[in-house]
Every structure is written in structure tokens, then in C-alpha cells.
Amino acid sequence: MDTDAELYAAAARATERLLRIPGVNAVGVGPKRVGGVAQGVGAIQVHVDHKRPLSEVDKVDRIPAEIEGHPTNVATLINRRYAALPDPAPGECYGKRQPPPDIDTQFKDAVLAGGGPISGRVDETHRGTIGLLMEDVAGTNKKIYALTCYHVLCKLSGTGSDQTVVAGPVREKAIVGQVDPNGSCSCSHCCDDGFGEFVQGEVFGHSWRDMALVRLRPGTKYIGGIKALGPVAGIAPNPTVDQLNKDTYLVRKYGNVTGKTGGRVVSSIIDPGAGDPVAHFVVVPHIPKGAAPDSLHFAVEGDSGAAVVTPDTRVMGMLTGIGTYEAKEFFPGTDGFVNATLVAPLSAILIRFRQQLDPKFDVTPVLATSPNDIRTVPPNATALLDGEQVAVRMPSAAAVAQGLAQGPGEAARRPHEVRDRVRADLSASPFGQELVRLWLRHGPEVVDLVNHDRQVLTTWHRSGASAVHQRLARLPDTAALTTARFPATVNDAPVADCVARMHAVLARRGSPALRAALDWLVPRLPDLAGLTYPQLLDVFDGTRV
């Protein structure tokens, strides 16, 4: 067993016993320090509410000088808490920070990048920071995700170290969006419906297990980089005990509130029950000479979720919380306090998603090739049709205008013949004639809304309408006349729910003429669930207009 592993194992074994001592609030690993100076030897870190003279401490409550042959180092840690930012009172303006040079030109609001703001819809009074853009490790249709802290997307109760999660996001349903750091929103970007849905994550108290994946929606622009820090270069190894002893593990981050800051990793904290030997790492900011230590921050509320990187922009972890230490612990001869930041190791987060959570997500950071490597989530999606997971594609404008999908079968081989046959089949009944007339009048507007209106596009995919459209286009294929059926359910809900959602968004975003046409049509639509194409025509023949 190597020295680092031995030290972490000893600290883990001692954690439960040490936490029973009054005033001890955390245990970890870091350097032995005397007068704030690292002594070049690893130690078991014992974090306490405040230090007292040895004479005032009962013998049974004294922290031993050594544990299993490893020295101990006592440090004062107070006010450990989440770093999610609460909103101000209604009507109160946010303060505006000065953006670093070139940020607004490199990463605009319409392009998601690490360091941007993120908020859930469970409780919009808290927000945090996008850490990284992630992608599936394998697969032909890779999904794109945003990584942040789980608590950022939650409803929180309490303050400081007593803050707890009281309501969390629901998988596949909780909408996540980006709010402007100054408190205003741009509905043309993503604030109305968000840029994605929460798909996996968890929180375990104030531990390193505080992560969330948000799957981005088709059409969302993103870059595998971090504001002011540039393209992500990979994943960095965790700090070694030797690096902690020498104070040589330097890091940076870009948070939604504080922007770009720098600091150093000084120790770690083991989180009991969260999975040993994984630990939080503690970062303190670089303090210029003459500056009061408590006047500067590596991170503050609102920076939760930010990626923490090495100087070469490799990611070592994600910011999950903040706390306060006595300054003299890390800055010799300095009075007062220093603001510390807690960082969860990215390597442990990826293992958690890949192996231990269900369903599992094998993801890795998106690596941009340059600051201009802006990409777009492809218009691919999946939906459940009658319980079967199917891949769907948003059809081209020309295909929608013709009432056809670009897919396999006869419809793809002879589109004009199929279109003419379908139009003739529909025109054989009064109700079918109304459908043809409605499409000829309003089809181009529907196409334009689906292709260019973000709210309509979002509902098109989230409701499963794109999958229903794809299935509907297969029904007239002569090879599928008796096998292809109109779905009864979409995403485990009746297909009528899908119709109602599309009706609502098209009526809201479309012209008065389109709204009037849909208001006439939708109440008259017969139940088509489970019908083949010939059966569908028979039902239309019996539908009154």
C-alpha cells in the first residue's frame, strides 16, 4: 500500500472516533503545519469549531498527537455550507460584476459553457454555476449534458451548515435553465422552457456526493470550455500528499458570481458514509501581500458547480461548498479568517455516475479544440411509443411541408407518389378533405414554427410529437399497411396528451388563423390509438364535420 493510501485509510478508520469528540466537525488529510507553515509531512487533519488551550480540554476529549503512527494537525473550520446563491427580495436589483476581458465575445449567452449560470425549476430562488459540458463516452448518437451540483437544482431549507435539501428534481421531468447573472432573463435563449432536463444525480449531506447531469435539448449551442479559462484539456489527477505538504497544487476556477479566481489545495476532508477513501479537497485563495485574508474569495454563494482546474486547464473537481478557517492555519502570522472552498474530485463523480447510480451514465468532459469550437446538439431525440424506446429525427422543412418523414420504406423511395395517394385517400371522406385543406393553408406556418421557434421546437421533442409524426409517416407504406399502427401512448402518457401540448404551444406561438383552425380541428379528432392506415381511413369516413 502506498503512503497516500495508508494515510487516507488511517484517517478513515479514525474518523468515527474523532467525530465523537465535542467540537470536532470533520476529519481529512493534509500537511502537518506549524504556525501556518507546512512541515513536509502528511498528517490526519482534524477540523474543529474552535481551538482551546490544552488545559481546558478534558483528557478523554483531547485529540491525540499521533494516530497509527501519523501525526495529527488541528485546524479551525466554521460555517461549512452550500454555495448556492439565493435570490434577493422581489424588486431588488442584482449587483453587476465586471466580466473578464473577451468573455462576452468568446462565450455569448446563447452558447452554454462552463462558468455560466444554471437554475432548476423546483425552487428558482437558488442558482449556481455550470461546471462542464459532458458527453457520452460511447455510442453513435452521443447525448450532451451539463454538469453541476445537485443542490443547485433543489429547494433548500435552513442556513449555513444546517442547510438541507427538502425537495429535489424529478428525473426526465425537471426543467433546468440558464438565468442571467444580473437577474434578468432572455426568453429567446432558454428561460421560458430551459435548455434541458435533469436526468441523474444525488446529494449526500454536505459531502462530495453532490452532482447532477442535465441533458441538453436539441438545437442548444455549447462549447467544451470554461469562460476566461479556455478549452478543457482533460482530467487532472487528484492532489498527492506530497503536493499538499509542499503547497504546490495550484488551481483556478470560473464561477457565475466571482468569475476567474486562483488558489491552492491545502488539505482534504473525509465525508463519513459518502464513500471512503474519497474526500473533499479544501482550496484557499491566493492572498496578495497586504490584503486582509477574509476580503478575498476563491468562491462565494452562486459559484456552486463550477469546475476547478489546474493551470493547464485539466479538471480536478467541482466546487460544492464553502467554509471559513482561521487565517493563521495557512498564512503564517496572519490574524482573522480566510474563506475556503470545498471541491469534489471529478474522478470520483464520474465513477459514481458510471458504476454506482441507476440508471448509469458513462460520461466524460467535452474537449473543445479552440475557443471557437462551438457545437450544436443535433436534433435527435428518443421517445416511448407504446412502451418501446424509439429514436426520432426532426424532419426537414420540405418533408414536413409535404406531410412526409424522411425515413425507410416506400415513403422514402417514392415521396410524390405516396403524397398523391395519401391526399386522394383522405379526400374520399369529408373529414379527410378538411385535413387536406387545413394543411395546405397552414402547413408552411407549422413548418416554420417547428424549425425556428424555440418553444415549439422544445415541445415538439419533449411531448413526443416528433416520434408520432415519424410513425404516422410509415402508416401509408404498402409494406406496413397491416403492421404499422398509430401509437396509443407517448412517453407513458396517452397520445391525446401529446396532441394537447402541441395544440397549446402552436396556438400560443402561431397566428390567429392557425389558432382558429386548430381550435376547430382538435375537438373533432377521433381516437386513432392502435389503428392501421386502412382502419384510420375508415374512422375518418365515419367522422362528422
Cα-flanking dihedrals φ and ψ of residue 30, to 5°?
A: 180, -170
Q: State the Cα–Cα distance between residues 500 and 508, nearest whole angstrom.
A: 12
3-state SS, residue 446: helix
Q: Does residue 160 sit in helix, strand or coil? A: helix
In sequence order, what are the beta bridge partners of 439?
none
pLDDT in tens, the chain (545 residues): 468 999 999 999 999 999 999 999 999 999 999 988 889 999 999 999 888 888 888 888 999 999 999 999 999 888 777 655 444 334 432 322 333 333 333 333 579 999 999 988 676 566 899 999 999 998 767 899 999 999 999 887 776 666 777 788 888 878 898 754 444 443 333 334 478 899 999 998 888 999 999 999 888 899 999 999 999 999 999 999 999 999 999 999 999 989 999 999 999 999 887 765 678 999 999 888 778 888 889 999 889 999 999 999 999 999 999 999 998 888 888 888 999 999 999 999 999 999 999 999 999 999 998 989 999 988 655 677 777 766 665 444 334 334 333 334 443 445 567 778 889 999 999 999 999 999 999 999 998 898 788 788 888 888 888 888 888 888 888 777 788 899 999 888 899 999 999 999 999 999 999 999 999 999 999 999 999 999 999 999 999 87
Neighbour count for residue 335 (Cβ, 10 Å): 11
Residues 473/407, Cβ–Cβ less than 8 Å:
yes
Q: Strand pairing of 314-326 and 234-235? A: parallel
Supply 375's cell numbers.
457545437
Taking the C-alpha atoms of residue 103 and residue 57, their distance in angstroms, rounded to an integer, is 53
Number of CB atoms found within 10 A of residue 164's CB: 13
Question: Which contiguous run of DSSP H or E holds residue 499?
Answer: helix 495-509
Give dist(CA 541, CA 536) in Å, integer. Answer: 9
Question: DSSP states of 59-117 as a string?
Answer: GGGPPPSEETTEEEEEEEEEEEEE-PEEP-STTPPPP---PPTTHHHHS-TTEEEET-E
Is 206:160 a contact under the CB 8 Å cutoff? no
Instruction: Sort strands 363-365 and 374-376 into parallel, antiparallel or unpaired.
Output: unpaired
Question: Could you please report the per-residue DSSP string of 257-305?
Answer: TTEEEEEEEEEEEE-TTS-TT-EEEEEEE---TTS-GGG--S--TT-TT
Nearest Cα neighbor of 131 from 328, 303, 311, 7 is 303
CA distance 366 to 229: 15
Closest alpha carbon to 210 in 377, 75, 344? 344
Q: Is this structure's pTM higher than 0.85?
A: no
Report how far residue 225's alpha carbon sits from residue 371's, in angstroms, rounded to the nearest whole number.
7
